[in-house]
Chains A and B, each alone.
Chain A
């Protein structure tokens, strides 16, 4: 499959009163047409900022894209004018956000918000746009779409709101959907509904999907390839089976071991969860060594002084680590 989006050495910074925040520090990845990639990491690891930077949605200032390129179908998005960018957003690359309540306009009807995109990008007449909006609401499984077109966001439940967001994102049949923790605010039963919906729409429309999440459980059933981020770096990239069966970065391993499993008995009463000591580093200074070094149980002297680059260690498998551990995660 041809490459749809290729990001190279992306660096994003925020200049704040407390100093410069090094949010994204040289991130490179690519996604093919129709592919599903998950980006995993804790809050503040730069997973959302990376995607917002690609779409040029970060406020400048205080934000700054300090380097790198983001080529969409071979054209660098960072070189486009703002007007050209508006033709990409929504039409080529669409985004669904975590909290549907804050990303929908509370004083406009759902119908108005969906048709807005259609009138702008597809140059439809209002009538035709409304018909298409009804069709979209039906597609994402909202009952009585004709009546609900005139409803306001607060009249929908959380799961239904997220469906509306997905309908809006799909309005112009984008080639790439970026889903930024779309199920984090939802219950597990609703999460299962939304995941199933996105996957079936992906197959129908041959979209590529980037799914941002902090939940390694969600990723397992969803993506083919996974990027693990920490402190603004990609620390591991692998096919989903490899990542879960033989993670090679100590952070990925630690994350997997910190998760209790719904399908397993707790073997003995004294069996504790393995926790990762400490907390993620401050992003207010550029790390000299590996950003994970203070929390890493495999750290060596070299890790304190030299930041490991992302290197290939196997088929589609890259890690940013000097040590390269080889441990079974689940034992």
Chain B
């Protein structure tokens, strides 16, 4: 963990999607506050986990951070470059430095392209290598992700889910990035294949000193792979800490409930556990609750929680939380 040399710095990042009514004369009637002011840093070679339930804004956060969505406000620095202000060559450079691996390996590979075309696309876009060098590099990348170089002329449908995800990883590596957003890279895969892909991501991280933002909802896998973990709820980060600290001493009641709901593959232990069942669903991000956003579902909320927004503060060494009750 090297918080001293952050490669990614996010300050107060906001992404709202406007909700409009009307077809010809559209007018804005509200906004989905998907990401509503998040701040974090990721050190070089570190893996930061971003967890939360579906709809909490974790995927939007990952994409906005890379500039795939235009941020509403806030600042993102990747390897010293300002993502929101960069234009032209600087923007190209950022895009070479920062890559993404998508969740669904069935939807993220063009079915009409060969593996060769898919994996070499970043090199084509960024004018890296040419001719036979590029072909060699594709073979090398295939080898890195554990696929045979002879398969480069095949199409995505000829591969299994795990193999497709390996192709997606090879593509992300093609431009020699420093930072990769892994957006739920294993949630579409079977258990026996998940471990293969996670081990591969770790090997590649060691080999190329990669930095990961690992977005996931599988809390067990996040504890395994991440150095620090951020918990998101309804567009904001409610808790952030070193993995063992966060999993063993969660401070925010949402984190506690989330962790207690994860099933443990051990019948004795699972039966003895006290599960905190949260009432209801995640509220709409169009009109988030006042005060602390978690208060309508929180087992320990009081009147103050519904009025005052809790402050984001350091509660223990490198353990941040936003809750009145801590």
Contact = CB atoms under 8 A, between A and B. Distances in A.
Interface of A: 42-43, 157-160, 187-193, 196, 214-221, 240-241, 244, 254-256, 258-263, 265-266, 272-277, 279-280, 330
7 contacts: A187-B53, A217-B270, A258-B195, A260-B223, A260-B224, A265-B244, A276-B195
Interface stretch (B76-84, B111-119, B255-263): B255-263
Given A42-B190, A260-B224, A220 B195 contact: no
A244 B266 CA distance: 6
A262 B259 contact: yes
Nearest to B284: A157
Task: List the 8 shortest-distance A-B pairs measured between CB atoms, nearest first.
Answer: A217-B263, A275-B195, A260-B224, A221-B270, A276-B192, A192-B261, A273-B195, A187-B53
A263 B219 CA distance: 10
A42 B192 contact: yes
Nearest to A256: B265
A214 B257 CA distance: 23
B111 to A, nearest CB: 18
Contacts of A158: 54
A243 to B, nearest CB: 8
Contact of A262 (B53, B54, B219, B278): B219
Contacts of B262: 188, 217, 262
B275 A260 contact: no
Nearest to B257: A189
A235 B244 CA distance: 36
A261 B281 CA distance: 26
Given A187-B54, A262-B259, A214 B190 contact: yes
A266 B281 contact: no
Contact of B191 (A160, A191, A214): A214
A319 B162 CA distance: 28
B268 interface: yes
A266 B265 contact: no
Nearest to A224: B267
Interface residues of B, number: 43
Given A188-B217, A273-B224, 9 more contacts: A42-B191, A43-B190, A157-B281, A188-B261, A191-B261, A217-B270, A255-B192, A273-B198, A280-B192
A217 B277 CA distance: 17
Interface of B: 53-54, 160, 162-163, 190-196, 198-199, 202, 217, 219-221, 223-225, 244, 247, 257-271, 275, 277-278, 281
Given A258-B195, A261-B220, A190 B265 contact: no
Nearest to B264: A263
B265 A220 contact: yes
Given A272-B202, A275-B199, A192 B268 contact: no
A218 B191 contact: no
Contact of B281 (A190, A240, A254, A260): A190
A141 to B, nearest CB: 9
B83 to A, nearest CB: 30
B217 A273 contact: no
B270 A220 contact: yes
Contacts of B267: 220-221, 240-241, 244
A216 B220 CA distance: 13
A216 B199 CA distance: 20
B265 A273 contact: no
A6 to B, nearest CB: 25
A259 B186 CA distance: 13
Contacts of B196: 275-277
B263 A260 contact: no
Contacts of A187: 53-54, 217
A42 B189 CA distance: 9
Contacts of B202: 272
A14 to B, nearest CB: 19
Pick the most buried of B162, B202, B257, B266: most chain A CB atoms within 10 A of its CB.
B266
Contact of A220 (B192, B220, B244, B264): B264
Given A217-B220, A240-B267, A266-B224, A258 B261 contact: no
B192 to A, nearest CB: 4
Nearest to B281: A157
B204 to A, nearest CB: 13
B224 A196 contact: no
Nearest to A191: B261
A279 B277 contact: no
Given A218-B263, A220-B267, A259 B281 contact: no
